[in-house]
Amino acid sequence: MEKENLKFNALTPEVLDKNKEIYTKALDFAFDNKDIKNIAITGIYGAGKSTVWNTYVKETKKENIITVSLGKYEDNIDENDIKLEDEENSSEHFLDNENRVERQIINQILSQINAKDIPLSKYGFKSNKSCCTILFETFAMLGIICSVLLWINRESIVDNTGFSYMYVLISCIIMLFLSLLYIFYRYFRENILRISKVKFRGAEADLGYNEKNDETVLDRDIKELVYLIKSSNSKIIVFEDLDRYDNISIYTKLRELNFLLNKYSKTNENENKNENENESIKFVYMLRDGIFKSKNRTKFFDYIIPIVPIVDSKNSESMMVNLLGDLNSLIDDRLIFKISLYIDDMRLIKNIINEFIIYKDIINIDGFKLSNDKLFSLIILKNIFPYEFDLLQLNTGYLYDVITKIEGYKNEEWENTKERIKNYQKEYNSKVNDITDEKILNLTNILKESIKMEMESLQLYNIKNKDDKNDSFEADINECDKDFIINKTMNKDLSSYCDNQNINYNEICNFLIKINLNEKILNSDKLLMSIISVSKIEKVFEIKQKTHNFKYLSLVRVLVLQGYIDKTYWHYKGYFYKGSLGINDIIFIKNINESKEQDHLLDIENPSKIINRLEKIDFNRFNILNKKLLKYCVEENKIEYTLSIINSVNNNRNYIKLAEILESYKLIIIENLINILYSNNIYEIKELLEVSKDYYFNTYNNILIAIYTNEHIDTKTIKKFNLYLENNWKVVSFLPEDRKDIFYNNISNVGVKFIDLQGDEINTDIIKNIESLNAYKLCVKNIVYIIEKILGKSVQYGNLLSEIYNSSLLECKNYIDNNFESFLNEYIDGNNNEDFTNDEKILIKILNSKISNEYKIKYLNLNNTELTNISDIINDFKNEDLLNCMFDRDIILFTKDNVKIYYDNIEKSSKKFIDYVERNLNESNVDEILKGNSDMCNEFINNPELRDGLFEYIYKYATKPVKTIDSNLSKERINLLIKRELIEINYKNINFLLEKNWKEVIIMWVNSTENDIQDEFVDVLLYCKLEEKEDLIYKLINSKITDENSMKLVDLLGTGVLIEKINLEKENLISYIIDRGLSGDNINYICKNFNKFSLMLKEGFIKYLKNYNVFHNLQNDNLNDDVMTFILNFEGLETYIKIDLICKKIDNDTDVLLLRKYIESVKEISKLAEVWENNYPELETDEEKKIGNKLLEKGIVKQYREGYPIKIFISKDKKGKSGVQ
C-alpha cells in the first residue's frame, strides 16, 4: 500500500460541514428564547457533544464565546487508588479540590478576556511590559527623584542659575504630580497594591480573603466573576468536562452565577446604550446524563439537548472500517467485529488506527511477513492497557503471565493430541493388519485418502473446551458430518469385504476420521486452544494483581483465546537489528510459532542457530519442513530432528514439498536420509516415491538407487520397493559404475521384473544382464525390445510367435512357454489390426491353449492361416463361439469329413456353420457333401435361417418328416415340405398352423390327404379347439374333404351352423343339417333363397316344417310368393295348414291378386276365387267360412244381402288393388 494513502486521525473534536438538522433546530430554539439561560448538551463520553457544538458555532458564525474545559484524567492504579480513596473521604481534600476547580474556571475565563476590558479586576495574567510602559515608568521614577533633588537643592539652584524660587517650586510640583499621577493610574488600572489586613493598636481587620475558611473561591469572588464576564461582552459561556469531577455543587454555583449575570446586566443596561435588551447571557454545559442521579436535572437546566452517540458497540465496527480506509483490507473482518463489541470510544479508535499505521511501517510487517491482525490486536492492548504493555515488553506483568500460561497449556494439549493419534493409529492398524489382499489394501489406502480430503474441507465448529468434571478429551465431530463423510467415501467392495471378514467398516472409518481430526487439531493453534479445559482457561485469566480498565479484560480474553495475541508478540514490539539470526531466520521461526504456512524453500541463513532456538516440539509442527534445515539435519546426522521433520511431512501430507526439496540434493545426501529412514519409516519412503515419480525424477531415481545399491538393507525391506523400481527402467542408466554388481545382485534376490524396457540410451551389456536374470516383465513389447537390441533384428508383429519358436532364442522361448497363456493374451491384445501370419502349428497351439475363448476369437478374427483337419482341435467342439468364428472366416477347410466330424460332435448346427456350408456348397460338390450327411439335411429343412438357395439343395436330400415345425419357418417352405410329405401330421404342427392362422396351408394340407390319413387329420383338427376358428371350419366344410368329415365339422358348430356359408352343392351335408334341426337364421335364409335350393332340399325343408310343426312360427317375410306357391301345391301337406298360411297373408295385407292366386291353388276353397269374376260365391264349408270371414274382416269383399249361407262379392275398386306386403 502506498504510504501517501495512509490517513492519520486527530483526537480533537471534529468540526463537521453540517450538523444533523434536528440539532441545529434545537440549538436555534434555545438561543432564540430569552428565558432559556442554562442549556445542557448531554451524552456519554465520546458521544460527539463538542463536535455538535463546534459545528453549530461554525454554521451560525457565533463569536465572542468563552469556553471552559476542565477534565479529570487520573488512572486509578495500585496504591494511588487506595490513597486517593482515603483522601476523598476527607472534607478537607474535597474543599481543596473544589477550590482548585473553581480557580481554574476563573483562570480559563480570565484568559479569554482582554486585560484592557477589565482594569478593575483583581485577577490578571503576568505579561511583558512594552517599551513605552518601561519608558513611562522610568520617567515617573526619575520625575519623583528629580523633584525631590530639585527641592532639596533649591537654594543653590536659585543662587547659581538665576531662576526664581517660584519657578523651581512649580517645576518640582509639576514633576512630582505627573509622576504620582502615572503611578496611581497604574495602581488603579492593574490593581497592583492589595491590602489584606489592617492592624492598629492590637485591633486587626481582615480586608482580604482567607483561603482556609469554609468558603470556596467561587463563593467569595462571584461578584468578581460577574464583573469579568460582563466586561468581556460575551453572551455565551461554554463549560466542558466538568462532569468528570462528579461534583454537583459546581453546577449550582454556575447557575447562581448565570442568574447574577443576567440580573446585573438587566439592572445596568442603561449604562451601555449599545446593549441589546433582549439578549441574555447563556451558559452551555456539556456533560453526561449520569451526573444527576434523579429527575432534578430537568429543574436545574432550562433546556436539555441529548446527543445520540456517534459510536457505540452496534456501529463501532462500521466506524472502525471507515477510519481504516485502505487499511481495512489488511485486517480480518472477524477481528474488527469482535473488537467493536468492546470498544466504543471514538478517540480510542482513532488513536489505535494512528499507532497501527506507524507500527506497521516501522517494524516492516511486510518484509517479515508478520500478521496485520496480530499487530492490530497488540496496538489495541497498548491503548487499553498502556501500563501492562510496558510490562509486557519487559517480559513481566499480567499479560505476559496470560500468554505464557496459555502457551504452556497448548503444548500440553499438543502432546496429548499426538498421543491420541498414536493410539487411534494402533487401533486402526489392528483392524486392517490381517488384510492380505492387495486389491483390498489399495482400497483401504484410497479410503484413507478420501476421508483425509473430506476432513481437510470440514469446518470444525463443535470442538469445545474440556469441562471441569472430566479432564480427559476425545475430539470428535457431530454424527451428521460423520455419516456424510462415511457415505460420501463409501467403497462397496471394501464394505463387502469387511462384512465377510466380520470387520466393522464404520469403525474403520471412525478411526480414520479421529486420526485426521486430531492431526488437524495438532496443526492449528486455534483448535489446540479450543480443547483447553474451562478450568484451565479460568485459571489463566484469574486476576492476581490489581490492574486498571477492568471493562476491557473480556476483550483481552477474546484476543488471546482467538490466537491474535500469543508468544509471537515480541516480533511486533519494535525494530529488528540483524545479529545472529537473519531476516529469513526470523520469518521462519515466527511462522513456526504462529502455525502459519510458509515457503519450504525459504533461504534461511543459519539453520544451526535456528535449531538451538526451537523447542523439540517445534520439529513436529506442520510447517517445519525447510530445504536448508533438513539438509543440515541429515548432514550432521541429527537423527531425532530428521525423523521428527519426516513425521511432520507424513502427518500433513507434505510429500510434494519434500520431493521438491530432495530434487536438488545430491545422491550422497539422499543415501544418508534413506539410511536414517529405512528402519522405521518405510511408509514415508513409499509415499515420497509416489509423489516423485511423475515430476521429480532426480528425487525418484536417487531414492531407488540409494535403496537398491545399499548392502546393509535386508532383502525383505528392499522387496517392498520393487514396484517403484519395476516401473522405472531408465534408472539403470544412472547407476554408478561401482554399484552395478550390488544392484544386479539385489534385483535378482528380490525378484525385480522391469515393466517397460525402452530407450536407445541403455547400454547393451545392461540389457543382456537383465535378460539373463529374467528381470523383466514378460510382455510383447519387452520381447520385441530384447530381440531388436540383442539380435539386431526387426520382427513383424503378426509373425512374432513363428519367429520366436523358429529362432535360437531359447531363453525367450522357455520364458514364453512357461507363461504362454498370459503372454498370448497380451500378444493378441496388442495387435493393431495387423493380420496374424503365424504358421498352422502356432494356430493349433493357440486353439488348444488355456487362454479364454475371447482371446482365441480375437486371434482368429485376424488370422490368415487355414486349419486343414478339424480333428486337431477336437477339444474345442463344445466351444460354439470359437467354431462359429472359424466357420465365419472360412478358416476350416470345407470337406465332407470336416463337415461330418463337426456335425457328429454337436447337438445342433449353428447359424455360422449353416452360412459356412452355404458359402462353400455348389453344384460341383453338393452331391458329395450332402449324400453322406442326410441327418444334417433333415435338420436344416426345419431351419428358418437357411437361405433359399441352400434350402433348394438341402430339402431334396432330406428323408425324415419334421416333427415340430420351427416357429420362424416360412409359409412357402412349409408348403414345399407338405408337398413332399416332410411334415408329420400331429397336434403340434397343425396347432402351429392354426396359431399362425395359415388357413390356406391347412386346407391345402387336408385336401392333399385321403382316406384314413384325412380322417386322422380331421380328428387332430377337432382336438385343436377348432370351434374358435369358425371361418376356417366353413372353409374346410366347403373343401374337398368327404361328407363324413364335413359332418364332423358341422357337429363342431352345433346349432350355430349357417347354411348360407355352405356350398349348396353339398346337398347331403345341407340335408344333414336340415334333419338336425334348423335355426331361425337358417329358416329365414332358406325362405329368402328358396328357388336356389334343389327340389330335394325344398321338399326336405317342407317336411321339416311339417314334422316339427314350425309353420305357425313362419313370419310373413318368410312366406314369399315362391315359398307360398311351393307349400300350397305340396301334396303331402294338410289343408288347414294351407288355410292358416293364406289367412296370415290376408292379415298382412297381401296383394289381392296374389290372394286370388293362393285361394285358387287350394282345391277346398278355390270357388271363392270366383268373387274376382263378379260372382257371389257362398261360404258353405268351414274352410270357406274361415277364408271368407277373413276377407270380410279386412274389407277385401263385402257380404251380399242378408241371409244364410253368406254370399260375398267384391267391388270394382278392390279387384286389382294391391295390399301392403
pLDDT digits (tens, 9 = 90+) for 1124-1179: 898 888 888 888 888 988 898 888 988 888 888 988 888 888 898 888 988 899 88
Distance CA 681, CA 375 (A): 41
- The pLDDT tens digits for 401-410 are 887 887 788 7
145, 183 in Cβ contact below 8 A?
no
Model confidence pLDDT, tens digit, residues 702-761: 999 999 998 888 888 888 898 989 888 888 888 888 888 899 899 999 999 998 888 877
Q: Answer yes or no: is pLDDT of 850 > 80.
A: yes
Higher pLDDT, 425 or 714: 714
CA angle 649/708/673 to nearest 5° reads 30
In this predicted structure, the answer to whether residue 793 has a pLDDT above a threshold of 50 is yes
The one-letter amino acid code at 1166 reads S
CB contact at 8 A, 709 and 736: yes
pLDDT of residue 1017: 82
Where residue 203 falls among pLDDT bands split at 50, 70, 90? low
List, for residues 17-40, the tens digit of each pLDDT value.
788 888 888 888 888 888 888 898
pLDDT in the model for residue 142: 86
pLDDT of residue 80: 43
Give the single-character DSSP code of 1060. G
Among the residue ranges 72-81, 643-652, 1040-1049, the one predicted with the least confidence is 72-81
Q: What cell does 213 get?
A: 475558611
Query: Is residue 279 predicted with pLDDT exceeding 80?
Result: no
Residue 973 pLDDT greater than 80, yes or no: yes
**Peptide linkage before 607 cis (omega within 30 of 0):** no
Residue 444 CB burial class (10 angstroms; 0-12, 13-18, ≥19): buried
Please say if the pLDDT value at position 356 is more than 60. Answer: yes
Give the pLDDT confidence score for residue 312 in this predicted structure: 66
Q: In Å, how far are 977, 978, 1035 from 1019, measured between CA atoms?
A: 22, 18, 16
Q: What's the average model confidence in pLDDT over 1113-1123?
A: 88
Question: Is the pLDDT score of 368 beyond 70?
Answer: no
pLDDT surpassing 60 at residue 885: yes
- Picking from 121-135, 501-515, 582-596, which range would have the lowest pLDDT averaged per residue? 121-135
* Segments in 878-920 forming alpha helices (H): 880-888, 896-904, 911-920
Report the pLDDT value the prediction gives residue 85, as an integer from 0 to 100: 46
Query: Does residue 454 register a pLDDT over 80?
Result: no
What average pLDDT is seen over the chain?
Answer: 80
Q: Is the pLDDT of residue 332 over 60?
A: yes
Burial class (CB in 10 A: 0-12, 13-18, 19+), 1174: exposed
Q: How far is CA 1140 from CA 1116, 1154, 1187, in A?
A: 12, 15, 9
* Whether the predicted pLDDT of 337 surpasses 70: yes
Give residue 469's pLDDT band: very low, low, confident or very high (50, 70, 90): very low
Phi/psi zone of residue 273: left (φ > 0), alpha (ψ -120 to 50 degrees), beta?
Answer: alpha
Question: What pLDDT sits at residue 531?
Answer: 80
What are the angstrom distances between the C-alpha of 1193 and each of 574, 977, 992, 1186, 1187? 147, 74, 66, 10, 10
Instruction: Please compute the mean of the pLDDT values over residues 251-271 and round it to a whole number.
Output: 78
Contact 879, 904 (CB under 8 A): no
Q: Is the pLDDT of residue 132 over 70?
A: yes
Using an 8 Å Cβ cutoff, are 589 and 613 in contact? Answer: yes
- Is residue 280 classed as helix, strand or coil in its secondary structure? coil
Does the pLDDT value for residue 83 go beyond 60?
Answer: no
Of 101-110, 391-400, 473-482, 972-981, the least confident: 473-482
Residue with cell 317342407: 1102
Highest mean pLDDT among 259-268, 455-464, 971-980, 1083-1092: 1083-1092
Predicted local confidence at residue 752, as pLDDT: 92
Out of 168-182, 258-272, 937-951, least confident range? 258-272
Average pLDDT over residues 668-695: 86
pLDDT for res 81: 44
Q: Identify the pLDDT of residue 786.
A: 85
Say how far apart CA 418 and CA 420 lie, in whole Å.
Answer: 5
Enumerate residues 6+ apart whose C-beta is below 8 A from 849.
Answer: 820, 821, 824, 856
Indicate whether 882 pLDDT > 70: yes
Which residues 6+ apart lie within 8 Å of 496 measured at CB?
Answer: none
pLDDT at 474: 60
Distance, in Å, from the CA atom of 385 to the CA atom of 403, rounded to the nearest integer, reads 15
State the Cα angle at 1199 between 1197 and 1204, rounded to 5°. 140
pLDDT given at position 944: 86
Distance separating alpha carbons of residues 132 and 134, to the nearest angstrom:
5
Span 219-246, mean pLDDT?
79
Rounded mean pLDDT of 624-648? Answer: 89
DSSP 365: T
**197-200/203-206 β-pairing:** antiparallel
- Among 184-198, 245-259, 849-863, 960-974, which is the least confidently predicted range? 184-198
Percentage of the chain modeled with pLDDT above 90? 2
**Percent of the chain whose predicted confidence (pLDDT) is above 70:** 86
Task: Report the DSSP beta bridge partners of residue 200.
Answer: 203
pLDDT number for residue 517: 81
Q: Per residue, what are the HEC states of 825-865?
A: HHHHHCCCCCCECCCHHHHHHHHCCCCCHHHHHHHHHCECC
Contact predicate 375/360, CB 8 Å: yes
How far is the first Cα of the chain from the last one, in angstroms, to the nearest whole number?
122
**Average pLDDT score over residue span 762-772:** 84
Of the candidates 292, 249, 237, the one whose C-alpha atom is nearest the C-alpha of residue 106 is 237
Please state the rounded mean pLDDT for residues 532-561.
Answer: 72
Cell digits of residue 713: 538393507
Decide if pLDDT at 839 tops 70. yes
Where is pLDDT greater, at 837 or 322? 837
Mean pLDDT of 891-895: 87
